[in-house]
Amino acid sequence: MPETPSFVPGPQYDGWLTGVDQIAYGGDYNPEQWPEDVWAEDVRLMNEAGVNLVSLGIFSWALLEPREGEFDFGWLDRVIGLLHAGGVRVLLATPTAASPAWLYAAHPDARVIDRNGTPMGPGGRGLMAPTAPAYREAALRITTALAERYGKHPAVVGWHVHNEYGAPVSLDYSVHAQRAFREWLRERYGSLDALNAAWGTAFWGQHYADWEHVQVPAATATSANPAQQLDFARFSDAALRACFVAERDAIREHSTAPVTTNFMATSCPSTDLFAWGREVDIVSNDHYLWAADPRGHVGLAMAADLTRSVAGGKPWLLLEHSTSAVNWQPRNVAKRPGEMARNSFSHLGRGADSIMFFQWRASRSGAEKFHSAMVPHAGTESRVWREVVDLGANLGRLTELRGSRVHADVALLWDYESFWAQDLEHRPSEGTSHRERIDTYYDRLWRDGHIVDLVRPGQDLSGYKLVVAPASYLLRADDAANLTAYVEAGGTLLVSYFSGIVDEHDAVHPAGYMAPLRDALGVWVEEFLPLRDGDSLTVRYGADAAGAGPGATDLTGTVWADDLVLAGAEPVGTYADGPKPGGAAITRHRHGAGTGWYVSTNLDVDALATVMADVYAEAGLAPSGIVEGLEVVRRTGGDAEYTVAINHTDDDAKLPLAAPATDLLTGDAVTGDADVPAGAVRVLRTTTR
């Protein structure tokens, strides 16, 4: 048997889910899709699987308020009562992500309008226009009614507001958005002169002389003003957040339980999660593997790392993932045996204190009937159910991990404004993608066994040995100054191409491309030299001045090259061909006590290995020495270190241990190397004292 836990969750557990005394385990529960006699069976099966938490009522608005202002809480009372009697706690949802038909009928103007003027709904789901008074009033009415009725119910230990703000649509071009956008701009700029200057309206004669003429950037004959589009992205995110804040505050009038909403870290760039993270009591996330990607577990790791970073390192809730296939991708691949557990343990290792699924019981009807669930259509005589029960039992052995923390030595910049700006039209090459560069650098770091935080460029970076800035196109001058100060103080910064190009208005920095990083990098960009589709070039890396030498390696670059002007940096890689043969391609620059690296072309994950090995050495990062495909994450709490090892390969692997450990899943003592069989997971505790 596992030993008694040595770590008691600390003060960060203030406001945690009262009464959920283990790693939270469960999923979305939609009992209204089933006759009542199934509910008792559900609770019995939840107990069998070790489920201790469900998200309830996420899409139940039409049943809870069948007519405007008329409530029917009887069925919800009975469900919550059954769950409570069975010891299952509830994250009670506000159902405002799926408005009832009567609301659409009464207020057609409150529908979301897309960029081409098409109204959305009813008949699907997704919020109505976030700035429409009728939607906001109705959302607050149902939220308040729920909070009044259940705010002190002992089973309701938290609130799940709405569902995935930003999905399925985040931009609304309705008349309400038009009015609210103007108000938001007036607040932001104060005067039309300031707005005209920020948007650069002298270009293409877009100058505004009257606030009433300022529009949301709906369809135009050609590309809309990029600064206007960037502000519209900011405004739209703020409008969604205002909906959340209003619901949260209505709940707080009647309940002290923590309030959260489920994010979609890495899959919904329209919501600035760093801003959202400041508004929730507990950070929560949903994650789904992209089935077409056989290395989806790397994307999963990045989503989990972003969620932890948004939570400021505190534990977070995984509110949704899937037991097996989803239903909404072009080809919905079933998870292989053990894959659900590997996914779950990766989230857990990266700081999640809950493992939850969409959904508890598979739906018979509707758009998601082919989506997997904890109770599949095949029932309990199934592989998925057996794995669900096993996972619940294993999580029950890991209570002591709750509240423990993950430490990262490496930071990767993740800046929503840079996404919003870089993804607009008319960029130098459609081959460049902020997200692609982030994914590739993250993949390299994952393969090399480094734990990564995803950070804003303006935040305190002093705790990181290495900061990586992949295609940070929009970089405010003060954020560039923060990166420069980080290098000065001894940090290692690696910047990839198309970074530091524009300011917060999508205007090119006055001193030219990459000028704000010139001190840190010792180099700036005279001209972009993007490649034709399919072309590649050669970078001679690690060569001496004559282009040779024992360390010289040829690396292939694609998509991009720069005409660089050296301003103190040394070239460590030179273009052997391409648009500027003989020009510097990769540079290194000592600045203050640190070093700034610049990589001016697109290196794939294999080519990056060569460069990153030198960057790691410079940053004082030790190689992990672990076989690629064995994911190892550590959480520490009290005097314990928990090593979560996940073998994604088809071969057995060994994990060298520095100290004797206890396997928390089996209770076995482990010394020397820990065996991690193909596809298996181990959770090992060592004592740090």
Rounded CA gap, 457 and 476, in Å?
A: 9
Smallest distance from ligand GLA to CB 371, Å: 5
Q: Counting Cβ atoms within 10 Å, is residue 70 exposed (0-12), middle (13-18) or buried (19+)?
A: exposed
Rounded CA gap, 500 and 457, in Å?
A: 11
Beta-strand relationship, 584-591 and 553-558 = unpaired
Which helix (H) or strand (E) element contains residue 685? strand 681-687
Contact 587, 570 (CB under 8 A): yes
164 is catalytic: yes
Smallest distance from ligand GLA to CB 37, Å: 25
Of the pair 318, 644, the CB lying nearest ligand GLA is at: 318
Beta-strand relationship, 536-541 and 570-575 = antiparallel
Beta-strand relationship, 570-575 and 640-647 = unpaired
Rounded CA gap, 45 and 63, in Å?
A: 25
Q: Which of 65, 247, 320, 504 is catalytic?
A: 320
Of the pair 74, 124, the CB lying nearest ligand GLA is at: 124
Of the pair 199, 358, the CB lying nearest ligand GLA is at: 358
Smallest distance from ligand GLA to CB 78, Å: 23
Q: Which of 36, 65, 137, 164 is catalytic?
A: 164
Side chain identity, residue 531: L
Of the pair 13, 290, the CB lying nearest ligand GLA is at: 290
Phi and psi angles of residue 320, each rounded to the nearest 5 degrees, phi first:
-145, 135
Token pair in block for residue 688? 């740090």
Q: Counting Cβ atoms within 10 Å, is residue 328 exposed (0-12), middle (13-18) or buried (19+)?
A: exposed
Contact 411, 492 (CB under 8 A): no
Nearest partner of 243 among 341, 368, 96, judged by Cα: 96
Neighbours of 190 (CB within 10 A): 10
Of the pair 286, 353, the CB lying nearest ligand GLA is at: 286
Nearest partner of 565 among 530, 527, 595, 509, judged by Cα: 527
Of the pair 261, 482, the CB lying nearest ligand GLA is at: 261
Of the pair 368, 554, the CB lying nearest ligand GLA is at: 368
Contact 266, 306 (CB under 8 A): yes
Which residues are CB-neighbours of 402 under 8 A, at least 6 positions away? Answer: 9, 13, 22, 23, 315, 353
Smallest distance from ligand GLA to CB 172, Å: 19
Sign of CA dihedral 655, 659, 663, 664: negative
SS3 content of the chain, % helix, strand, coil (to 5): 30, 20, 45
For 107-256, strand residue ranges (E) read 156-161
Of the pair 234, 335, the CB lying nearest ligand GLA is at: 335
Of the pair 128, 615, the CB lying nearest ligand GLA is at: 128
Smallest distance from ligand GLA to CB 173, Å: 24
Of the pair 12, 363, the CB lying nearest ligand GLA is at: 363
Smallest distance from ligand GLA to CB 480, Å: 36
Rounded CA gap, 611 and 266, in Å?
A: 26
Smallest distance from ligand GLA to CB 59, Å: 7
Starting at the edge strand found earlier in the chain, the sheet holding 570-575 runs 452-455, 410-413, 466-469, 492-496, 594-599, 584-591, 570-575, 536-541, 553-558, 602-603
Smallest distance from ligand GLA to CB 370, Å: 11
Contact 564, 575 (CB under 8 A): no
Smallest distance from ligand GLA to CB 609, Å: 34
Smallest distance from ligand GLA to CB 168, Å: 9
Q: How far apart are the first and last CA of the chain?
A: 23
Rounded CA gap, 630 and 621, in Å?
A: 19
Beta-strand relationship, 405-406 and 284-286 = unpaired
Of the pair 274, 358, the CB lying nearest ligand GLA is at: 358
Smallest distance from ligand GLA to CB 9, Å: 28
Q: Cis before residue 122, ω within 30 degrees of 0?
A: yes
Q: How many residues does the chain have?
A: 689
Binding site for ligand GLA (CB under 6 A): 163-164, 286, 288, 320, 326, 358, 368, 371
Residues annotated as catalytic (active site), given as ranges: 164, 320
